[in-house]
Chain A
Amino acid sequence: MIEVTNMQKKFGRKKVLQGVSFTANKGEITCLIGVNGAGKTTILNAIMNLTPLNSGQVLMDGQLINKKSYEKITFIPDAITMLPQMRIKEAMQFMADFYKSWNQQRANEMISFFKLNKEDKISTLSKGNTAKVNLLLGLALDVDYILMDEPFSGIDIFSREQIADVFTSHLIEDRGVIITTHEINDIEHLIDKAILLGDGQVIKQFNAEEIREQEGKSVIDVMREVYIK
């Protein structure tokens, strides 16, 4: 389980996060929802210890994030984090060199599922294919937790469908996923838990299936209630 407690972050005088707390379970897809600038990316960065917090704490399975944690949790940012001049196979080699948790068999599976060519240079890939390589580099790690920042934004509809397919496959199964989005449509039926952010705080968090069962509302219905008053 990932436990975020009272996360506070200021950029200059601007308070981006004002005491954000939530948990994300292993085996579940937790979705951080909020408009652009709501601090979604900052939360993911802070979980990964990629930006300092003014206060608050992040625990993964009860422990603070340290260098060993990166074999158990990985982050897939919204832009690819490999050098543009690298070929896909070189990028995979880089991952294999540094991560014990790298699973080449799984990487190969995704190469063929996404119909990518290992010899291609990252700089020559289309937006959709770049996003797929980015996803591949994260998902081929045998980690327990995966953070994804806006995996669907700015790419074509077919790539989106393929990426959504990944969420229901064994590539995600049994792992804990935290995903951010400002557009819920692509994944409404995929998520377990929704966390609505606004003004640097968690406005509401709920289980998507429970809210349908108990209140007969879709995730978007709840968002409408919360954001449009």
Chain B
Amino acid sequence: MSNYLKLVNFELNRFIKLYMVLIGVTIVSQLVGAVLVSRRYLKDVNQAIYEDGMSQSSFIEQFGQFSFYDFGMSLWFVGPIALSIVVLLIYVFFIWYRDWFAKNTFIYRLLTLPTARLNVYLSKATTIFLMVLGLVALQLILIPIESRVLEWMVPLDFRNDLSLDQIIEQLHVMSVLIPQSILQFIRNFGIGFMSVFIVFTAILLERSFKWKGILLGILYGAFTIGLYVLPGVLESLISPGYFYQSEKFFIAIAMVVIISSLSIWLGRLLLKYKVTV
């Protein structure tokens, strides 16, 4: 256990600089964006009312009130989230390949630590999860702050204040990352974690069997995705609407658990018996 935690700490430190950059970019871009987007709205308001002589009510009628949604759809808000997602997706691969292909092949050290090799696997997965959760938490802190910025910038009459719940509901990205119900949260993140395990194990297949391994990795990915959608497909083929919504949910969770366990088990075997430096 303590070796696992030490490894998690170690893996976090290896990524911390880039991670801090991501956090910095997100904070700066979203706060600056909140100011700029609301200013642009105010500029439109001023132009319409003072230059074109439009009344306040007809402006609102025509262009709508300003809400978080307007800011939330801007590149200032979505850009850093997309960037973070892309960087983390790449890092899911890089977290392994850097140990083989960097100048100093660190995989020798990792595989000769006096600890189960599974800990290496799990510590890398944990690192990814903590990074994702950290960014989601940051977003949860940032949204209320950004709401407050918008309130400062735009006069009450032109504003449609949204609660955190409403904001999350309206913004599609957010509703996936921060679902309303705890069950949805579990399912969404379960699927995310399962995907990480699948990719990790596919990477280890490639590392164990080289060229053949790439094919095996792709097949493994296809197999697990097939396994995941199998209950749904069977249902729609045999008897559509057979399952209640809650049953579907538990089937999804069960598939996540099964496929994650399978991936971890296979990953462990590969690390123990098949992987090559």
| Interface set of A (CB-CB < 8 Å, partner B) | 45, 48-52, 67-71, 74-75, 77, 79-84, 94, 97-100, 122-123
User: Known: A67-B114, A70-B112. Is A52-B106 also a contact (CB below 8 A)?
Assistant: no
With an 8 A cutoff between CB atoms, is B174 at the interface? no
CB distance from A211 to the nearest CB of B (A): 34
Considering only CB atoms, which chain A residue lies closest to B7 in the complex? A98
A69: chain B residues at CB < 8 Å are 114
Question: Could you give 7 example pairs across A and B, Cβ below 8 Å?
Answer: A50-B277, A52-B208, A52-B276, A70-B113, A75-B108, A79-B105, A80-B104
Q: A52-B274, A79-B105, A82-B104 are in contact. List 12 more A-B contacts (CB 8 A).
A: A45-B276, A48-B111, A50-B277, A69-B114, A74-B112, A80-B104, A82-B106, A83-B106, A84-B104, A98-B6, A98-B113, A100-B114
Chain B positions 252-277 with a Cβ under 8 Å from a chain A Cβ: 273-277
Q: Chain B contacts of A50 at CB under 8 A?
A: 108, 111-112, 276-277
Contact with A along B210-241 (1 / 0, CB 8 A): 00000000000000000000000000000000
Q: In the assembled complex, which residues on chain B have CB atoms less than 8 Å from the CB atom of A82?
A: 104, 106, 109
Closest residue to B17 on the A side, CB-wise? A85
Cα–Cα distance between A156 and B139 once the two chains are bound (Å): 54
Please report the C-alpha to C-alpha distance between residue A77 and residue B111 in the assembled complex, in whole angstroms: 13
Q: Does B56 contact A (CB under 8 A)?
A: no
Inter-subunit contact B108/A81 (CB<8 Å) = yes
Report yes or no: A52 in contact with B273, Cβ–Cβ below 8 A: yes
Contacts of B106 in A (CB 8 A): 81-83
Distance in Å: Cβ of A93 to nearest Cβ of chain B? 11
Which residue from chain A places its CB closest to the CB of B110 in the assembled complex?
A81
Q: Which residues of B contact A68 (CB under 8 A)?
A: 114
Smallest CB–CB gap between A123 and chain B, Å? 8
Contact A77 B108 (CB under 8 A): yes
B108 to chain A, nearest CB (A): 4
- Chain A residues whose CB sits within 8 angstroms of the CB of B277 once the complex forms: 45, 50-51
In the complex, which of the residues B3, B6, B109, B275 contacts A81, with contact meaning CB atoms closer than 8 Å? B109
Instruction: Determine whether the beta carbon of A94 is less than 8 Å from that of B10.
Output: yes
- Whether B105 pairs with A77 at a CB distance below 8 angstroms is yes
CA distance A167 to B73 in the complex (A): 67
A83 to B104, CA, bound (A): 6
Asked whether, in the complex, the Cβ of B104 is within 8 Å of the Cβ of A75, the reply is no
Residue B102 CB within 8 A of the other chain: yes
User: Do residues A83 and B14 form an inter-chain contact, with CB atoms below 8 A?
Assistant: yes
| B208 contacts across to A, CB distance below 8 A | 52
A160 and B250 alpha carbons, distance in the complex (Å): 64
Chain A positions within 8 Å of B116 at CB level: 67
Interface flags for B94-109 (1: CB within 8 Å of A; 0: not) read: 0000000011111011
Asked whether any CB of chain A lies closer than 8 Å to the CB of B117, the reply is: yes
Shortest beta-carbon contacts, A-B, top 5: A51-B276, A70-B114, A81-B109, A81-B108, A50-B277
Q: Residues of A contacting B6 with CB < 8 Å?
A: 97-98
- Find chain B residues with CB under 8 A from A98 CB: 3, 6, 113-115
User: How far, in whole Å, are A194 and B207 apart by their CA atoms in the complex?
Assistant: 33
